Amino acid sequence: MERRVSVWRRVLWLTEAFAFCSTTLLTLLVAVPLQLLALPWDPDRRVSNLLAGAIWGRLHFFLNPFFSTTWTGVERLSVRGSILVVNHQSLLDIPLLLMLPTQLRVTARPGVFRMPVYGWMAAFGGHVAIDPEADVDGLVARIGGLLDRGISIVVFPEGTRGDGKTLRPFKRGAFELAIRTGAQLVPVCLRGTADGMPVGSVGGLRGRCHMRAHILPPVRVVDATRRSLARATREAIEACLLGPDPFEVSEGCFRRYRRLGRWAAGFAQWKTRLDPAYWAAWERLPRTGLVLDVGAGEGLLASYLRGCGSTVTTWGVDVDAARIGRAQAVCEADDTYVIGDARTAEFPGGAAAVVALDVLHYLPEPEQERLLVKMVAALAPGGVLLVRDPAAGSAGLVSRTLERLAVAVGRHEGAGVNAGGGERLAEVLRPLLDDVRIEDASAGPLGNVFVSGRRGAGAQPGGPGPA
């Protein structure tokens, strides 16, 4: 047994050593020459950051079959740069962060920039050395300039790597920066990287590893102190470390649908893992009460919410009888799934939330508006509405093309795809709901948006909106 474990650890070590070293070399050979050519028009070194994310990030994890990654909350990144406050576990934290679909620069002690190869790469890429003896005003001005140009700043407030389970004391630098620059302060919780490469030795790899990165809701900076910001950020990251694991939730969906066959189970697993809407729904929806799932399909939303620990009751409707049949086969006893057209079906009232992830864009615009009003009327006071729409313009081209193909082959009902990037839907909802938002919901090449809002506490039950 010991010999078998030793051989397994050697395979793990050699696999990661190959992935880590080969992508480092490739980054040097590709990113450095191309960035040198681009320097006259790219002083912020965006080219090298983009290539490092593609090679040292995505290609690195692709080359190691024992590693997999999951991102949640990417829609929370603002157009202006944010200060990302991240718990630190492993050398793999940096490649994982570089996969973010945004420009970012990492802060580190000056000694890191003197390291052979990796320190040189960090300095060349424009990452930021934090020297306690440096001019603070000058450092704040430099970082503020990066933030204004849409470049996010990564700060590890613990100052060193931890064990992946607990947090070390937070230093004050990130919170001072947030107050002085007025930038959005975003906690980021990393999980699993310590299993991939524990502190102290690459040879300590612990087997198959799934790394998760959660971008959490921003912490309010206005009128805050360094102490209150540090406390709120730490509490958010600690709660995430103890919360549901999106990888395990998707594995649970696989097991729930396994009785329907491997195809149904595999679809449930990968759909919930790759589609950001499910985790977004878990974060935004109430934990209890009635949830109306419009376009419920196989009932994946209810399965996912329960896997995360929610105790909601689900009422779902869909025109596809086969998909509703699968939902009915795996649902809980208090759930209800009906075959029908959402435009004519009678919705139960008093819902804590109404969700429509893939419905509205199949309808003509006037019917979209009527269905939105109908969904709002089903909400209880304080209830949440969450819908999804393909993004407008080039960002949503792939999504709209795939949706049109699904309609053409009969996968989805509808006469076509009418998507406006969420703005038209938001215009309908603003007179009816409070706090109406449009958020990015893209995943890879699939460009989508979330449109959400909350029914006012003074709304009349069954009425069209707030009183």
pLDDT of residue 79: 66
Give the mean pLDDT per block of 10 residues along the chain (467 residues).
63 84 92 91 92 93 88 81 91 90 89 85 89 77 90 90 80 89 92 78 63 91 90 93 91 95 94 90 94 95 95 95 95 95 94 93 89 96 94 77 70 66 90 92 81 81 47
pLDDT of residue 244: 92
DSSP 8-state code for residue 434 = E
Total Cβ atoms within 10 A of residue 63: 15
pLDDT of residue 415: 61
Strand-strand pairing, 104-108 and 128-129: parallel
User: What's this model's pTM, rounded to 2 decimal places?
Assistant: 0.83
Distance, in Å, from the CA atom of 373 to the CA atom of 318, rounded to the nearest integer, reads 18
pLDDT of residue 261: 93
Q: How far apart are the first and last CA of the chain?
A: 70
3-state secondary structure of 336: strand
DSSP 8-state code for residue 37 = H
The CATH number of 247-454, from 3.40.50.150, 3.40.47.10, 3.30.460.80, 3.40.50.1820, is 3.40.50.150
pLDDT of residue 443: 76
pLDDT of residue 3: 58
Strand partners for 314: 291
Domain boundaries, the chain: 68-243, 247-454
**Rg of the chain in Å (alpha carbons):** 24
Residue listed under structure tokens 């066959």: 261
3-state secondary structure of 141: helix
The architecture of the domain spanning 68-243 is 3-Layer(aba) Sandwich (3.40)
pLDDT of residue 467: 34
Beta strand extents in 67-172 (DSSP E only): 67-72, 82-86, 104-108, 128-129, 152-155
Residue listed under structure tokens 């990492």: 106
pLDDT of residue 206: 59
* Torsion from C-alpha of 105, 236, 272, 206, nearest 10 degrees: 70
pLDDT of residue 305: 96
Closest residue by Cα to residue 386 from 355, 365, 417, 344 = 355
Give, in order, the Cα–Cα distances in Å from 312 to each of 287, 295, 332, 354. 6, 17, 10, 12
The contacts of residue 248 (CB under 8 Å, 6+ apart) are 307
Give, in order, the Cα–Cα distances in Å from 124 to each of 60, 118, 146, 367. 20, 10, 16, 54
